[in-house]
Amino acid sequence: MKKIIFTFLLFAFAGITYAQKPSLKKSFNTDSGVESNLSSSQDSTKSKRSKANKNEKQKALISEYLIISSTRDTTYVDTTLTINKEYKYNYLRRDNFGLMPFANVGQTYNSLTYSFENTNQLPGFGTKAKHFNYLNADDVNYYHAPTPLTELFFKTAFTQGQQLDAFFTTNTSRQFNLSIGYKGLRSLGFYQNTLSSTGNLRITSSYKTKNKRYVLNTHFTSQDILNEENGGLKEDNIAFFESGDPDFNDRGVLEVNFEDAESLLLGKRFYLNHSYDILQPKDSVSSNKIQLAHIMTLEDKIYTYDQTAANTDYFGDSFQTSNIKDRTELEQFTNQLQLNYSNSIIGNLQFNATHNNYNYGYDKIVVLNNTTIPNRLKGDIVSVGAKYNKQYKGFNLKGEAGLNVSGDFDGNYISGTASYQLNEDVKLSANIKHNSVAPDFNTLLFQSSYKNYNWRNQFDNIKTQKLVFNVQSNKYANLTLDFNTINDYVYFAKNEDDGVKAFQSTSPITYLKVKLQKEIRYKNFALDNTILYQNVKDDSNVLNVPQIVTRNTLYYSNHIFKKAMFLQTGVIFNYFSAYNMDGYDPLIAEFYTQNDQELGAFPRLDFFVNAKIRQTRIYLKAEHFNALFSDPTYYSAPNQPFRDFTIRFGLVWNFFL
């Protein structure tokens, strides 16, 4: 909590100090090549700027504060207040449609839908339940700011804590940018032993030479995600929770399976992405460009599960009766070289080669039931790949492929996308993809003080085929048809010894998703609808999802107080149909398949009032207010109740210095 308060005060002081300056520094050209959809007021500002006295300092346009992704796609800072901003005003700071949060903010999420967008060629670390708030390399952005920029995000949490995301960026020159951000959370929660304490530090820098032939983006991240774990409510307390008895409105009186455990994910990463243009186009006729690029990633992840006393009723037999300290570590070092060629006739073409060194495992071997479980999976993987992009007669064609050519893990993928802008409103696209990759490291090798949680598996690659059709239209609707076929799917499930283990399905799975999004407007009122239909054919019943997931928002928005404030207020309705919801195992930080208990089919109603004053967005929400008059049969996972009614508020505040 002290770290959060200190960070908030530090960034607020920096922002307010700079804000006292009477005018902004003169902005400088970015030559980004980005289309800026400026408002009429911004156009007016540009017109006035041309007439201004040359000696007078000029203010920067908001469209000049650039946000650059890891793939160097560029947008600019957006301080508007829209319904999409309401959807993103949460712990993850992204739209969490299709995710079911647990009772305390900062805990994990149950997945109501799956993507299978993976194009990795190496196994992941695992512990997926701890990674919803983990920033991967592609999640870190870079910046270009004509004047220093600060953003403060604040939101209340659940009992003895707050959530803060503080960010600052500045350009020391036209060529060099620095940024630092920290997202911190502490929330005690209402149930026993559910404390959340997380921190995400990110430091970035960007540099480009004056002739822009050399460009560098680099970042460092340090992340810690700690959760106290209680295993959910005890079976004999489920009836107390669902009874609605006022004596149990204080959720802290309900008994949980254990009160002495916590899980922690630590991650540190250094990332470097730089390129040099060997040949630049001299004019529109000579459009050949040759670029050499290098990407380096060094990342270390550690997952620990600590428990004071062994709980054999929940996890099964243990090697020791107290001081459970399980630790899993992955060190990964990756270097990729790219040769990029672009031509106005041929298009954009890339060839790449990647070397990956991995070291996953433990400090000891385990001998159990005359079986030796090794302590390490380590080695080197060399892979090659290619990418292609071309605009042709209104079509945008993209393709990419990759193949592991040496090492202990086979892996490959190929993907092709074609999109077409039918008219100013309608855009059509289609994508086909195939991927074959080894399952996560923790499904192949895992060690624990609990005997049932020790294994060394030899699984085949998971093979997925994906076909996606997409229609985007503001006038009609946004429609996505997503058809997947999965072979040799790897999943977690309970075995006969009450432990959770990894298994591989022998039957193919077909998975269909149809998503429809449409907003209907009438004057100052709007009804925003997102509806997802899912259908799974799976003889083994290992991939369970609800058939229907829907979010419908009825809201009103308008300027008030002589346009000094923009107000937005409404009601959000969330619902998903009943299904065999996955259970959560805190020891391995994974969700597991279960087919004994159906959960879901309860509505969640949220009432919100949001307002924008200058560059400040204020948020107030009554979450799950229908819990006040409905039966408490709402769960995020088996034995894991969802949140009761609560009121939360916060703000997002930008300083353009």
The pLDDT tens digits of the residues spanning 383-438 come to 999 999 999 888 999 999 999 999 999 999 999 999 999 999 999 999 999 999 99
- Contact between residue 259 and residue 193 where contact means Cβ atoms under 8 Å apart: yes
Report if residue 37 sits inside a domain: no
Report if residue 7 sits inside a domain: yes
**Amino acid 285: pLDDT:** 53
Report if residue 123 sits inside a domain: yes
pTM across the whole model? 0.89
Count of the separate structural domains present in the chain = 1
Region 102-124: mean pLDDT is: 93
Write out pLDDT tens, residues 522-531: 999 999 999 9
Write out pLDDT tens, residues 592-616: 999 999 999 999 999 999 999 988 9
- Contact between residue 217 and residue 70 where contact means Cβ atoms under 8 Å apart: yes
**Amino acid 33: pLDDT:** 31
Write out pLDDT tens, residues 526-557: 999 999 999 999 999 999 999 999 999 999 99
Domain with 503, as residue range(s), is 2-23+60-656
**Amino acid 281: pLDDT:** 79
Report if residue 39 sits inside a domain: no
Burial degree of 568 (CB within 10 A; 0-12, 13-18, 19+) = buried
Q: How confident is the model at residue 283 (pLDDT cuts 50, 70, 90)?
A: low
Report if residue 138 sits inside a domain: yes
Report if residue 409 sits inside a domain: yes
pLDDT at 216 over 90: yes
- Contact between residue 329 and residue 302 where contact means Cβ atoms under 8 Å apart: yes
CATH number of the domain bearing residue 403: 2.40.170.20
What contacts 458, CB < 8 A, 6 or more positions away? 444
Region 222-234: mean pLDDT is: 97
pLDDT at 2 over 60: no
Region 115-139: mean pLDDT is: 93
- Contact between residue 486 and residue 511 where contact means Cβ atoms under 8 Å apart: yes
Report if residue 276 sits inside a domain: yes
Cα–Cα distance, 112 to 582 (Å, whole number): 9
Write out pLDDT tens, residues 296-321: 999 999 999 999 999 999 999 999 99
**Amino acid 4: pLDDT:** 47
pLDDT at 13 over 60: no
Write out pLDDT tens, residues 136-148: 999 999 999 999 9
Percentage of residues of the chain with pLDDT beyond 70 = 90
**Amino acid 286: pLDDT:** 56
Tokens 């083994």 identify what position?
540
Report if residue 40 sits inside a domain: no
How does the average pLDDT of the chain come out, rounded?
90
